[in-house]
A and B are shown apart, each in its own frame.
Chain A
Amino acid sequence: GDSVTQTEGQVALSEEDFLTIHCNYSASGYPTLFWYVQYPGEGPQLLFRASRDKEKGSSRGFEATYDKGTTSFHLRKASVQESDSAVYYCALRPSSFSKLVFGQGTSLSVVP
């Protein structure tokens, strides 16, 4: 079945560090890929999405590029801030438009 794998469970960085959170997926066809962010005490909210190969999604300085060849959608940010501390979820919507599939989540902690 369709699945999403995030390899980092927790990431700890200092402000201005470069961030990469890895996301790999398994799905047939061309799923839509998402990154959601969950700030403390809140529900997850959409960060951005991408629906075609090589499409780049971006928001709030974060970006990810849909790569069908490597089945990846890695999240990157050049310079993180303390306010970026949150849980990040990679997700996919299958081509069949059935329910969303979420990865395990990555907890990001940024210290000043």
Chain B
Amino acid sequence: EAAVTQSPRSKVAVTGGKVTLSCHQTNNHDYMYWYRQDTGHGLRLIHYSYVADSTEKGDIPDGYKASRPSQENFSLILELASLSQTAVYFCASSEPLGGNTGQLYFGEGSKLTVL
């Protein structure tokens, strides 16, 4: 069974603090993604990566950094957390999107509250 695990599952951070969300996948997938979920906006892509040691900007990258130290691990970093970054964050993995399925496998989400 494919698996994407996120940690922490829930976090409360202070404004201006640093937050790191971690993601680990055992799918042997090259592609990994970080999405943000907000009511009314659906899922929006923050950063993604298709190979270790390389990351790409998604649709809403401002205020976020990403790190892909290995095929299995992908982190999302908020250097200076702000109130507007309160949201649920999802990590996902996939085969190359040109493959047969184009399917994303999601983790269970990380709820971030910035106070």
Q: What is A's interface to B at a CB cutoff of 8 Å?
A: 6, 9, 32, 34, 36, 41-46, 49, 89, 93, 97-100, 102-105
Q: What is B's interface to A at a CB cutoff of 8 Å?
A: 4, 33, 40-45, 48, 58, 90, 92, 96-98, 101-104, 106-109
B41 to chain A, nearest CB (A): 6
Decide if the interface of chain B is mainly helix, strand, loop or mixed: loop
B108 touches A102 (CB 8 A): no
Given A32-B102, A49-B102, decide whether A41 and B108 contact each other with a Cβ distance below 8 A.
yes
Taking CB as reference atom, which chain B residue is nearest A99?
B45
B42 touches A102 (CB 8 A): yes
From A41, A43, A105, name the one whose CB has the most chain B CB atoms within 10 angstroms.
A43
**Inter-chain residue pair count (beta carbon < 8 A):** 52
Other CB < 8 Å A-B pairs besides A43-B109, A100-B102, 5 of them?
Answer: A49-B102, A98-B97, A99-B33, A102-B42, A104-B40
B102 touches A93 (CB 8 A): yes
- B97 interface neighbour in A41, A89, A97, Cβ under 8 Å: A97
Could you say which residues of chain A place their CB within 8 Å of the CB of B98?
Answer: 97
A90 to chain B, nearest CB (A): 9
A99 touches B48 (CB 8 A): yes
Given A43-B4, A97-B98, decide whether A103 and B42 contact each other with a Cβ distance below 8 A.
yes
B106 touches A44 (CB 8 A): yes
Could you say which residues of chain B place their CB within 8 Å of the CB of A6?
Answer: 42
Could you say which residues of chain B place their CB within 8 Å of the CB of A105?
Answer: 42-43
B61 to chain A, nearest CB (A): 13
Could you say which residues of chain A place their CB within 8 Å of the CB of B41?
Answer: 104
